[in-house]
């Protein structure tokens, strides 16, 4: 399994904004610091804003600030904001016991999915920065 590029970019964007906490970061500040192309920054920022991870500051001096404390933003929050909920297989049950009824593979995948979500939820943006 590979970390999707959009998730990597989203983490880098949030890391940059966190490093400049207390300052509004423009899209161009983010582009210059991260090397992520402008259209991707805009696309990702919308998803992060919709998830409450970024605040938008309007106006001539506008830009972005963190929507939550870095300690309260998990890697899974970022993943879910840009990718949607982690789902290893379509139709996978959320409860390993229910998945067991669908077969050993589904039970295994359900357990693995739950462990991945738990691990990603334990790592905060502050931990990475």
How far is it, in rounded angstroms, from Cα 15 to Cα 126? 8
Q: How far is CA 34 from the centre of its chain?
A: 16
Categorize the per-residue pLDDT at 4 as very low, low, confident or very high, splitting at 50, 70 and 90: confident
How far is it, in rounded angstroms, from Cα 93 to Cα 104? 12
pTM of the model: 0.86
The string of pLDDT tens digits covering residues 100-124 is 555 678 888 888 989 999 999 999 9
Categorize the per-residue pLDDT at 99 as very low, low, confident or very high, splitting at 50, 70 and 90: very low
3-class secondary-structure state, position 119: helix
CATH (one of 3.30.420.10, 3.40.50.300, 2.30.36.70, 1.10.10.10) for 5-87+124-128: 1.10.10.10
| 8 A C-beta contact, residue 120 and residue 74 | yes
How far is it, in rounded angstroms, from Cα 16 to Cα 26? 11
């Amino acid at each position: 399994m590979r970390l999707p590029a959009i998730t990597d970019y989203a983490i880098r964007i949030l890391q940059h904004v966190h490093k400049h906490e207390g300052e509004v970061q423009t899209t161009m500040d983010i582009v210059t610091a991260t090397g992520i192309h402008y259209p991707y920054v805009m696309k990702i920022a919308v998803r992060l804003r919709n998830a409450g991870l970024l605040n938008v500051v309007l106006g001539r001096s506008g830009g972005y600030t963190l929507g939550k404390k870095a300690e309260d933003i998990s890697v899974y929050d970022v993943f879910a904001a840009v990718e949607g909920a982690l789902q290893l297989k379509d139709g996978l049950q959320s409860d390993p016991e229910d998945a067991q009824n669908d077969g050993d593979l589904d039970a295994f995948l359900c357990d693995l999915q739950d462990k991945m979500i738990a691990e990603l939820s334990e790592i905060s943006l502050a931990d990475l920065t």
